Chains A and B, each alone.
Chain A
């Protein structure tokens, strides 16, 4: 099982920097398989496959192109919000006000619509209010220097409090007919591809490019790994965090446009509980809550995993409450699992080392 030549080479090049007792063969077929299959994205992929296989077996309606595409309507809003949330969590912050930003944007659009605004104005109002809310959060977090959890906990009430104070138990339900396209329309005539899905994929590509291919993205990783070190390296930490929260606001505005357009009404309790679901998507996607780890692909996998899991559960008549329990559990399991995996791997490695060099281990 051990390949002697490799270990010797390691010894020569390493010039005995590493004790021989710590060298084990990590190049074997089995080891490589373990490395691949304990990768978070691969695990998520398997889970997605499992969800498909499971629901295909118990209901014939699951594997239906029309259904599979149409059900994306129900999760693209959250998926869009997960994109900037990824940046925020990766740089060690959190935003639990996003659902309330949606409520505020939706309220603003409803108000504008009741004043007779056209579709273009409505969209602009939604985006502007979202951006303003994000800037508001960003200001208190980076300029005043309050913890993000504290600020967004307060703005969670403030942003939802405004529509609640003004609307009370009423609702805005009058929107222009063309406004319905964003949340209900399909790309091109006669196609089955929802506009919101395509829009999400475009945004995901853009955000993925920013995260993985630009300096901005690298700086986000740097901040997440070591905030102080990044600052000493000349990264303008607070400016990047500020932009993150502004982006979060803007994307929540986009989500508000899609959601309001989809359900065609605005109540103060719109999007209640979305914060938890968006954070779940990001954390389940392998973004470390301690910061500095994760990638777009994992989050995409998580989006479709949770989306289709819920769709399947809905098909077999499981209640909304069962789904809430599932998302809550997924959130906790997703943060627990990487730790367990790492511990298990470390134990395995230690055992192998002890087995390979019993003398060194005993001395």
Chain B
């Protein structure tokens, strides 16, 4: 049975309607932010150049060749092992890239403890929290992690940073950081509470924690970031964190103080840390006296 042409045209028009009504796929905000930073700063080119260097040995190998009509240079003196020094350049570049790529990688996320039983959600998939080997590897690229009520997850990234994801928290963890470049860590807290403690290898880095209300810049401290309905509260137990609605609004929040940001952008509240938050942070500090294994 064949359909009438008008019927086909109407159905094709309906296909177009359905296509146009579908929403654009949503990108990962952490990926977007990392790429933006690299693009705007120009770092995107230097990283790519480092990655591409060993793939072009032919360019260097041909450099000593003589083209018809080209001016001939004086013969270069033989260098190490009787070979002109610049012939070693590709080898040196490749070695540098290998060192930067592999030795430059920082430590992986490691699951220190999981309290409570059940499933957590990692990158949108429910996994048994107790079987850390099944999901810990997924954290290194930066991952969304949702911890349900009744469970707590303790994670550590080498000697750099330790975090405790409290019950009922929805967070995007920072990706595995590098040793020498792209050392910044960026996390997002969409709901719940994240405790952060920086380690002995943290100096020289910065950790940014974003919430819908604003951002917290951590350069060496112990803080909790609480995201509730319409507000973000940052409590500082040790050191100093910079907290604000955005660039130009960042205030230093010293130890023993908290700053509350509101979704309606009313003036932020700077006050003494609340006793129960201070107790939670102290408990974390005491339980994990040396989470970095030093």
- The judgment on whether A and B are partners is no
Give the B-binding residues of A (Cβ under 8 A): none
Give the A-binding residues of B (Cβ under 8 A): none
